[in-house]
């Protein structure tokens, strides 16, 4: 399995292209759609996963979805309507009016499992984002977690936005993410990768609660 991380406009959210053989899925096409399309053009793109529906993670969705019409777009059921509301997805904050032009194919729920190239992708819902977990296997030496804007290197997701709750996000990280193997590689929605072990040891928001 290969993972390509691409920080994209407008504020450097991490887009990921994950491939196995000739198949791939894309996580969070937040902007720079042409760059994402170019990087994924030689793959059979099966899914476009959205960790959440804030504009900096979905801004390139329309163009990327058009470029890969067979890819199934998936977003948490709770944020489905945000894709169609510039107010809810905060694109108005950037002076834009993002509205998804298509229908969502998959409404994600906690505990769902999706198949990709013989690999199981486990869906974990947290207040900050939907996370995607792939267990260690022949294609991956360690567990992998795409944590969106829930867990960052030495930090956690914002809780000051509408619907945010500091206690709930910390509880979800403790009960759902820190229980993963220590060697799990965490690919966050912004900034650098980390591991579960490092966050248990050094994350100032979690250290006393781990």
| Domains in the chain: ranges and CATH | 2-202 (3.60.15.10)
How many Cβ atoms sit within 10 Å of the Cβ of residue 124?
Answer: 22
Distances (CA, A) of 197 to 110, 134, 178, 179, 201: 23, 17, 8, 10, 6
pTM: 0.94
What pLDDT score does 139 carry?
A: 84
Residue range 25-60, pLDDT digits in tens: 999 999 999 999 999 999 999 999 999 999 999 999
- Per-residue model confidence as pLDDT tens digits over 168-194: 899 999 999 999 999 999 999 999 999
With CA atoms as reference, report the closest residue to 18 among 86, 117, 109.
Answer: 117
Mean pLDDT (the chain, rounded): 93
Tell whether omega for the bond before 198 is within 30 degrees of 0, i.e. cis.
no
The backbone torsions φ and ψ at residue 158, rounded to the nearest 5 degrees and listed phi first, read -65, 145
pLDDT tens, position by position, 54-99? 999 999 999 999 999 999 999 999 999 999 999 999 999 889 999 9
DSSP state of 10: T
Whether the predicted pLDDT of 209 surpasses 50: no
């Amino acid at each position: 399995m290969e993972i390509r991380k691409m920080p994209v406009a407008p504020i450097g959210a991490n887009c990921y292209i994950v491939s196995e053989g000739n198949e791939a899925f894309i996580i969070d096409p937040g902007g720079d759609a042409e760059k994402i399309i170019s990087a994924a053009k030689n793959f059979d793109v099966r899914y476009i996963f959205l960790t959440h529906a804030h504009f900096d993670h979905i801004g390139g969705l329309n163009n990327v979805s058009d470029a890969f019409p067979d890819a199934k777009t998936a977003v948490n059921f709770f944020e489905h309507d945000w894709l169609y509301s510039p107010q809810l997805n905060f694109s108005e904050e950037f002076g834009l009016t993002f509205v998804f032009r298509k229908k969502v194919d998959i409404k994600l729920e906690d505990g769902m499992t999706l198949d990709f190239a013989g690999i199981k992708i486990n869906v974990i819902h947290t207040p900050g984002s939907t996370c995607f977990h792939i267990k260690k296997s022949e294609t991956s030496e360690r567990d992998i977690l795409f944590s969106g804007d829930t867990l960052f290197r030495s930090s956690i997701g914002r809780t000051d936005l509408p619907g945010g709750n500091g206690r709930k996000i910390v509880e979800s990280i403790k009960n759902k993410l820190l229980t993963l193997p220590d060697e799990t590689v965490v690919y966050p929605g912004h900034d650098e990768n980390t591991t579960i072990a490092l966050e248990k040891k050094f994350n100032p928001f979690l250290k006393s609660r781990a």
